[in-house]
Chains A and B, each alone.
Chain A
Amino acid sequence: MTSPMIPPTRSSRDLILARVRAAVRGAPEVEIPRGYRTAAPGTDLVSLLAERLDDYRAQVHVVPEAEVPGAVAAALDRRGAARLVVPGGLPEEWRRAAAAGREIVRDDPPLRADELDRVDGVLTACAVAVAETGTIVLDSGPGQGRRALTLVPDYHLCVVRAAQIVAIVPEAVARLDPAAPQTWIAGPSATSDIELNRVEGVHGPRTLEVIIAS
């Protein structure tokens, strides 16, 4: 798609910058105190993440790394997912476990939104997870796919490796590259718009299932 032709608004740019400069002239400089925690060693990361995700009513399983393929197959069986979209770069054993007895849809070439809407779910890895806030971060890296993949299907199964878990938010920010589009996920889609009570399940995946490889 070509860029629309719109008249340049350079004069407003200059105007705004001039207004800013006039407004702050003579204002004192400000030191930024960073006395907050930037790490939280000694945390039992796996159990804290599991507990916090459970608080958001995600379905959580903690299994030894070797049992991840079995846990993937079991989760998909319970869900009754017959057609699954799987991004490139997922570990082969996980992909194979998902493919047994199921139709795997690839996102290459990229699926249209209505095509994504017709799969039963998506299986991904993740980039980082934050134990304290029960958050999983996807950064479009290997095994994660583009952002729409974990958005349109109603069921998201995500595998988190123990080494990907950090204790608190600053550790996650430090590990991530802002150039990559990111989605931070803390539980299934929810709303607090009706009388400020949290209700799970609006536009994003209504079920989030997480397998933590300990």
Chain B
Amino acid sequence: MSRTFVGMPAFPRNATRAVQNSQLRYNLRKATHTIRGKRAAVVGELPDWAELRAAGKAIKDHTLRNLDTYLLQLEEAVTRAGGHVHWAADAAEANRIVTDLVRATGETSVVKVKSMATQEIGLNEHLAARGITAYETDLAELIVQLGDDLPSHILVPAIHRNRAEIREIFLSKMAEWGRPAPERLTDEPRALAEAARLHLRERFLSTKVAISGANFMIAETGTLVVLESEGNGRMCLTLPETLISVVGIEKLLPTWRDLEVFLQLLPRSSTGERMNPYTSMWTGAVDGQEFHLVLLDNGRTRVLADEVGRQALRCIRCSACLNVCPVYERAGGHAYGSVYPGPIGAILTPQLRGLGSELDRSLPYASSLCGACFDACPVAIDIPEVLVHLRAKARHARAERAGMRAAGWVFDRPERLARAQRLGSRFRRLVPRRLPGPLAAWTDTRDLPDIPATSFRDWWDKTDGGRR
């Protein structure tokens, strides 16, 4: 059974323990600082970054304002180009649609391109429960899947793992999933990448069904766009006979021309490159392939209805806000209890899921409101503004609110950690024991992991801080 985020305790408690994990902190610090420098350099290189950012923001706002029109236009264009369009109001429906589509092919395994949307709906777990194995093919997703772990970063889901840990996971787990790792595997990144290549090669050449997300969908033309680095995306998008793309309805852009903005904003903001190695664009069914597009709402229209909060739907999942966030750098991605970690997760998760759980109510407090995320965001999402807005909406006992502030505040003063821990432990009784409100519906589609019947501390010790 794969692990899920369901039932995780609230942010301050998760974070307080993560801060104590020195290996995690070292890995995160090293990785986020590397990427920060690269991003700053390639952004500084463009004389018109501010204008691109303003255009990106406005294109997204315009799209969201007219989302109904553009969704219909997209549906028509994809259909005209030989694709099939499906609409999923929530996670359960999306999972059901995908399962039916896979079953109709008669296949029992699929290859997957890294996709936040399919993680959000728990697709792999849903498929597994119905006898369909989903093989992740992105290197970082592979590390997470083999390690029976949870993603901790949007772009680099295994950012919390260093090379030695990755080598260990490959050596001990690859054989269970397919071709074993080479016996003399070193922890050189080049050797680890080679091991992944060998492990997945045969699978790419023989699997008949692929599942992807998409970075952008063009309403005018019906074109889908996927940016990637490794070529696993190209393998999945190109070789299989059937391609199923699950895409959030907010990923639309009105026109082909709009790509001229986003193909500049996204690579520079995410990996800090002028351009990512591979970008695939396809329109409908091409090269003899059968193509299905599943349009996913799952809470997005709820976010859209909030005048302040809807700007979160502009997000292009670049992860720049994670990489500059002092809280993320210390707490890591798992503390956010969602596939969307970091500053964007702190505003998106509680809006998508509602403020029903203690975890989701605590997320708007997972910030010191320093504003670095806003400055880095290529579509100018005012994350601090939305955080403050959500804090007002999340009704909290005063004491709990104080506890959360303390836990956030302590990140800048490590010597005060002990005090925050004591404070945190006073709220142990608030650790959720069952899934309240909206989460109950979400769990209908997933297998529930152990809900902490014990205290948070016991839960954490038992799971090694969410790693097992």
B88 at interface by CB-CB < 8 Å: yes
Closest chain A CB from B295 CB (angstroms): 7
B139 and A191: CB pair below 8 A? yes
Q: A residues engaging B (CB < 8 A)?
A: 1, 3-7, 9-10, 12-13, 15-17, 19-24, 27-38, 52, 55-56, 110, 113-114, 117, 130, 132-135, 146-148, 151-152, 169-170, 173-174, 178-179, 181-199, 201-205
Residues of B in contact, count (CB < 8 Å) = 107
Task: Select which of B221, B261, B275, B305 is within 8 A of A133 by beta carbon.
Answer: B275
The answer to whether B88 touches A203, judged by C-beta atoms less than 8 angstroms apart, is no
Please provide the chain B residues from 53 to 96 with a CB less than 8 Å away from any CB of chain A in the complex: 54-55, 58-59, 61-62, 64-68, 71-72, 81, 84, 86-89, 93
* A3 contacts across to B, CB distance below 8 A: 84, 290
CA distance A93 to B281 in the complex (A): 30
Residues from chain B with a CB closer than 8 A to the CB of A56 are 277
Given contacts A182-B280, A195-B162, contact A147 B234 (CB under 8 A): yes
Kindly identify, within residues 177 to 221 of chain B, every residue whose CB is under 8 Å from any CB belonging to chain A: 189-190, 192-194, 196-197, 200-201, 204-206, 218, 221
Query: When the two chains form their complex, are residues B230 and A189 in contact, meaning their CB atoms are under 8 A apart?
Result: yes
Q: Provide the residues of chain B in CB contact with A15, threshold 8 Å.
A: 89
B contacts, CB < 8 Å to A: 27, 30-32, 34-35, 47-48, 51-52, 54-55, 58-59, 61-62, 64-68, 71-72, 81, 84, 86-89, 93, 97, 100-101, 103-105, 137-140, 143, 155-156, 158-159, 162-163, 166, 189-190, 192-194, 196-197, 200-201, 204-206, 218, 221, 223, 229-232, 234-235, 237-239, 241-242, 249, 256-257, 259-261, 263-264, 267, 271, 273-283, 286-288, 290, 295, 297, 301-302, 304-305, 307, 310
A114 to B203, CA, bound (A): 11
Contact, CB under 8 Å: B263 / A134? no
Complex contact B55–A4 (CB within 8 A): no
A134 and B277 in contact, given A12-B89, A36-B48, A173-B256 (Cβ under 8 angstroms): no
Cβ-defined contact, B97 with A190, below 8 A: no
**B100→A178 contact, CB < 8 A:** no
Closest to B237 in A: A147
27 pairs, A vs B, C-beta closer than 8 Å: A3-B84, A7-B100, A12-B88, A13-B87, A16-B249, A16-B295, A20-B249, A20-B304, A23-B305, A24-B68, A30-B62, A33-B51, A35-B48, A35-B54, A37-B48, A55-B274, A152-B239, A184-B275, A184-B279, A190-B229, A191-B139, A194-B189, A195-B31, A202-B193, A203-B204, A203-B235, A204-B278
